[in-house]
């Protein structure tokens, strides 16, 4: 393992908790080079909703590469991109009566966010953006300025300005009316709040600790934005593509964001791809005003289109995701009840689930125990106090049970000491 230690930067993180060298992967399983199998309940932090090396997508991918389909094409027109756009339109947008234009902003989620923020500022002529406590939107300077984590913000090396945090749903445990503070500041011309171009929000804060906003809170936010003529940017990078059940995590709230950021699982196979959907009247870019080299990775278009065709023509995946999510939720609630003195909290929606421990040290120990037992899970939350589950949506019920058993054992091993 020494080449990693001597050559790779100290910034590496996941490899610290899982100090093995992985070689192969299939479905919900990762295999280390010495042949040990790991059940993966992290799934590329949500980038592998259809599992590792999904065979349907794999076949399409190999076919495309084998026949010398264009690989890299900047933002040129290609057959693969057309197929992706048509499929996105037919399978996702049209059935939901969503009228959006598609920006290809660069290959990662942060790029999708940067494009949205730039466009929102250009459209409105305002600089300020409202973000929420414990938000995570990415690590490039624009995205980082709307991210909450103080350690990550500190890495910027410059003051991160132009963003003001507002309390996310349940920040005060329901003790106060939603948006009381936010709307008061907006309505008071003496409040000192810079007039915001946009609000950026996640429906479930993954990095922030699997904080799931209530649907009525999301609806309220959308209405507030409309009332005050503020653009609503929905960052669905981690929670989109079915993570919470429906394709877009905000569907059940009945809202229509002005801009939507997608990445991670949109590519289907784990290849980098990101898109920003914007209301057509907001698409005021000049040609080339936001560009980049990797805006059209055609192998990712191929697997992206195939994934949409395979999984989103009907509501089977949505239903099974919800069912599996509820199963996990029930087990987590049982764990909460089993250790009343530990003040555990069960969190989440769909297959984005969290179990909150009193502190990050305990949560870390639970993950370490799980790793020893062959299960990959990560912590999240400001102090790493939440064990975070993002299994592939294609994980079988048996695998879910297998993972839950390991979790129960791991929690027991840590809390019963």
Considering only the C-alpha atoms of the chain, give the largest distance between any 2 of them, rounded to a whole number of Å. 65
Q: How far apart are CA 302 and CA 211, in angstroms?
A: 33
Element (H or E) spanning 102, and its range?
strand 101-103
**Nearest in space to 207 (alpha carbons), one of 113, 137, 111:** 137
Of 279 and 327, the one with the shorter C-beta distance to a second copy is: 279
Q: Is 174 in the site for a second copy (CB under 8 A)?
A: no
Query: Contact with a second copy (CB under 8 A): which of 175, 229, 314, 417?
Result: 175
Query: What residues contact residue 177 under an 8 Å CB cut-off, 6+ apart?
Result: none
- Is residue 134 a contact residue for a second copy (CB under 8 A)? yes
CA distances for 219 relative to 77, 144, 198, 256, angstroms: 37, 26, 16, 9
Name which of 286 and 416 has its Cβ closer to a second copy.
Answer: 286
Q: Which is nearer to a second copy, 195 or 326 (CB)?
A: 195
How many residues make contact with a second copy (CB under 8 A)? 152
| Residues 6+ away with beta carbon under 8 Å from 77 | none
Tell the smallest beta-carbon distance from residue 92 to a second copy (Å). Answer: 11
Q: Are 42 and 376 in contact (CB under 8 A)?
A: yes
Q: Which of 37, 96, 98, 167 binds a second copy (CB under 8 A)?
A: 167
- Euclidean distance between CA atoms 82 and 72, whole angstroms: 14
**What is the Cα–Cα distance from 397 to 69, expressed in whole angstroms?**
37
| DSSP state letters, 204-215 | EETTTTSEEPPH
Is residue 223 within the footprint of a second copy (CB under 8 A)?
no
Interacting span for a second copy (CB under 8 A) from 164-172, 216-224, 226-234, 331-339: 164-172
Closest CA to 310 of 108, 93, 50: 50
Task: Report the residue number, 133 or 402, with the smaller CB distance to a second copy.
Answer: 133
The stretches of 312-344 forming alpha helices (DSSP H) are 316-338
- Using CB under 8 A, which of the segments 110-118, 223-231, 304-312, 341-349 binds a second copy? 110-118
Select the residue interacting with a second copy from 28, 49, 78, 321 (CB under 8 A): 78
Q: Which is nearer to a second copy, 292 or 358 (CB)?
A: 292
Among 37, 56, 98, 193, binds a second copy (CB under 8 A): 193
Residues sharing a CB contact under 8 Å with residue 134, sequence separation 6 or more, in sequence order: 148, 149, 168, 205, 207, 208, 209, 211, 381, 382
208 binds a second copy (CB under 8 A): yes
* Binding to a second copy in span 256-285, by CB under 8 A: 263-264, 269-272, 278, 283-285
Copy the structure tokens of residue 266: 């949109």
3-state secondary structure (DSSP) of residue 132? strand
For a second copy, the binding residues in 27-46 under the rule CB under 8 A are 30, 33, 44-46
Q: Does 135 bind a second copy (CB under 8 A)?
A: yes
- Closest to 277 measured CA to CA, from 129, 68, 45, 116: 116
The residue within the footprint of a second copy, chosen from 39, 50, 138, 390 (CB under 8 A), is: 138
Helix (H), strand (E) at residue 4? helix 2-7
Q: Which of residues 284-323 bind a second copy (CB under 8 A)?
A: 284-294, 297, 299
- Cβ at position 323, least distance to a second copy in Å: 26
Among positions 39, 50, 60, 148, the unique one binding a second copy when judged by CB under 8 A: 148
- Choosing from 39, 60, 91, 197, the residue that interacts with a second copy (CB under 8 A) is 197
Distance in angstroms (rounded) separating the CA atoms of residues 377 and 38: 10
Q: Give the residue among 341, 337, 335, 373 at the shortest CA–CA distance from 354.
A: 335
Which residue in 28, 41, 108, 370 binds a second copy (CB under 8 A)?
A: 108
Print the binding letters for residues 323-362 with a second copy: x by CB under 8 A, - otherwise. Answer: ----------------------------------------
Span near a second copy by CB under 8 A; candidates 52-60, 225-233, 240-248, 391-399 = 52-60
Q: Looking at 120, 200, 241, 317, which residue binds a second copy (CB under 8 A)? A: 120
Of residues 37, 56, 98, 185, which one binds a second copy by CB under 8 A?
A: 185
Strand ranges for 274-350 from DSSP E: 275-278, 345-349
Length of the chain (residues): 417
Is 329 or 382 the residue whose CB approaches a second copy more closely?
382
Contact between 416 and a second copy by CB under 8 A: the answer reads no
The nearer residue to a second copy, 60 or 411, going by C-beta atoms, is 60
Q: Give the residue, chosen from 56, 98, 152, 413, that forms a contact with a second copy under the rule CB under 8 A.
A: 152
């Amino acid at each position: 393992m020494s080449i990693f230690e001597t050559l790779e930067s100290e910034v590496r993180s996941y490899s610290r908790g899982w100090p093995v060298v992985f070689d192969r992967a299939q479905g919900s399983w990762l295999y280390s080079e010495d042949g040990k199998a790991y059940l993966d309940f992290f799934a590329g932090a949500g980038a592998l909703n259809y599992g590792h090396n999904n065979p349907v997508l794999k076949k399409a991918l190999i076919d495309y590469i084998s026949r010398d389909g264009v690989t890299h094409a900047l933002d040129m027109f290609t057959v693969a991109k057309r197929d992706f756009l048509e499929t996105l339109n037919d399978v996702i947008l049209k059935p939901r009566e969503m009228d959006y234009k598609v920006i290809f902003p660069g290959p990662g989620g942060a790029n999708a966010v940067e494009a949205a923020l730039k466009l929102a500022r250009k459209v409105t002529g305002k600089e300020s953006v409202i973000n929420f406590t414990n938000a995570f939107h990415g690590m490039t300077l624009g995205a980082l300025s709307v991210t909450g984590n103080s350690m990550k913000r500190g890495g910027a090396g410059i003051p991160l300005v132009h963003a003001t945090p507002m309390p996310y749903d349940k920040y005060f445990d329901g003790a106060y009316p939603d948006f009381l503070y936010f709307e008061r500041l907006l309505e008071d011309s003496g409040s000192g709040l810079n007039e915001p171009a946009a609000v950026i929000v996640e429906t479930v804060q993954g990095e922030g600790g699997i904080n799931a906003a209530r649907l009525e809170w999301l609806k309220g936010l959308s209405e507030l934005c409309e009332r005050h003529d503020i653009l609503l940017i929905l960052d669905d990078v981690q929670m989109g593509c079915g993570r919470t059940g429906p394709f877009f995590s905000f569907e059940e709230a009945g809202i229509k964001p002005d801009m939507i950021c997608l990445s991670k699982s949109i590519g289907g196979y784990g290849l980098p791809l990101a898109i920003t959907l914007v209301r057509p009247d907001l698409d005021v870019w000049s040609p080339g005003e936001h560009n980049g080299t990797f805006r059209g990775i055609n192998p990712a278009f191929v697997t992206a289109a195939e994934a949409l065709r395979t999984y989103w023509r009907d509501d089977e995946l949505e239903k099974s995701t919800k069912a599996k999510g509820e199963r996990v939720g029930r087990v987590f609630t049982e764990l909460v009840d089993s250790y009343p003195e530990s003040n555990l909290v069960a969190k989440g929606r769909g297959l984005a689930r969290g179990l909150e421990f009193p502190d990050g040290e305990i949560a870390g120990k639970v993950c370490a125990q799980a790793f020893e037992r062959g299960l990959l899970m990560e912590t999240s939350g400001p102090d790493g106090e939440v064990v975070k589950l993002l299994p592939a949506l294609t994980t079988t019920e048996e695998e879910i049970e297998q993972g839950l058993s390991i979790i129960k054992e791991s929690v027991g091993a840590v809390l019963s000491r």
